[in-house]
Structure 1
Amino acid sequence: MRHIYRCPLRWADMDAYGHVNNVVFLRYLEEARIDFLFRPEKDFKQGSVVARHEIDYKRQLVHRHHPVDIELWVTQIRAASFTLTYEVKDGDLVYVRASTVIVPFDFQAQRPRRLTAEEREFLEEYTDDATDAARDDTAGEKEEAVAV
């Protein structure tokens, strides 16, 4: 299953050419990640930190007044980390593909921690392993695997 976040575009997101600035996409991914992880019924109350981002820019996104969709799903779950993968898109048109490695963190003890059983169960609901074929939108394009 995938989580879908409808991300609003803001006037300040544009660069001098009228496109959404590449750096702004990191904020969009953060908004989608927060919307996914910190919901009242399921959330990472104990905290987490981002260990790594990887972004593949596919095409420019022009500023407009309606939101862009960000699909988010889990591609890897380990004992003390997990990987979220994203597509920023309109229908079949993909602007960005990205992934984020997240580490559960105990802020009181100031150290990484293992996923709880509840967190693992929540993440497993959004695991989507059948995405590699769907992600390849250009014949012959080589996709890099995310190393953790």
Structure 2
Amino acid sequence: MRHRYECPLRWSDMDAFGHVNNVVFLRYLEEARIDFMFRLARQADSGAFTGGSVVARHEIDYRKPLVHRPEPVVIELWVSKLGHASVTVDYEIKDERGVYVNARTVVVPFDLDLGKPRRLTDDERGFLSRYQDDETGSTLDT
């Protein structure tokens, strides 16, 4: 199963060439990930990720330019790897015209009080496992 997030495009997202700036895509990914891990996960388990999490790695493949328009883009995300102390999330930023970006983020749960990484709880792992999408495989070049 995949999580679907509609992300609005903002005029300030554009670069001098009229395309969404490459670094803005990281913000789009963050918006979708926050919606997934904090809104949706906390609806399933009120304690999910309340201690915090940190991004350990990003990978992005830019497929084609995205220009400003009033319609949002769709960000689909799914869990491609679920460890005991990390989760790898894959994404597609797309619309009916095609895929603009394939991306991957490694997220590590973090204990803010202790200032160090922690293991995923059983409830967090249960939630995340519902979004594993093994059939799709990686859409990133390796």
Does TM-score exceed 0.5, indicating one fold? yes
Match of 1:19 in 2: 19
Match of 1:93 in 2: 98
Aligned positions of 1:1-148 closer than 5 A? 1-39=1-39, 40-42=42-44, 43-91=48-96, 93-132=98-137, 135=139, 143-144=141-142
Cα distance between partner residues in 2 of 1:77 and 1:91: 30
* Structure-2-length-normalised TM-score: 0.92
The residue matched to 1:49 in structure 2 has which SS? strand
How far does residue 132 in structure 1 lie from its aligned partner after superposition? Answer: 2.7
- Structure 1: where are the runs of 5+ without partners? 137-142
CA RMSD of aligned residues (A): 1.4
| Sequence identity percentage | 64
How far does residue 91 in structure 1 lie from its aligned partner after superposition? Answer: 3.1
The residue matched to 1:21 in structure 2 has which SS? coil
Match of 1:139 in 2: none
1:87 maps to a residue whose letter is: E
How far does residue 45 in structure 1 lie from its aligned partner after superposition? Answer: 1.3
2:18 maps to a residue whose letter is: G
Cα distance between partner residues in 2 of 1:132 and 1:2: 13
Aligned positions, number: 137
Cα distance between partner residues in 1 of 2:124 and 2:51: 10
Q: String of CA shifts for 1:5-49, please: whole Å, max 9, x gaps.
A: 000000000011111111100000000000000114134112110
Cα distance between partner residues in 1 of 2:20 and 2:115: 36
1:47 maps to a residue whose letter is: G
* Structure-1-length-normalised TM-score: 0.88
Q: Which runs of 4+ in 1 moved over 6 A?
A: none
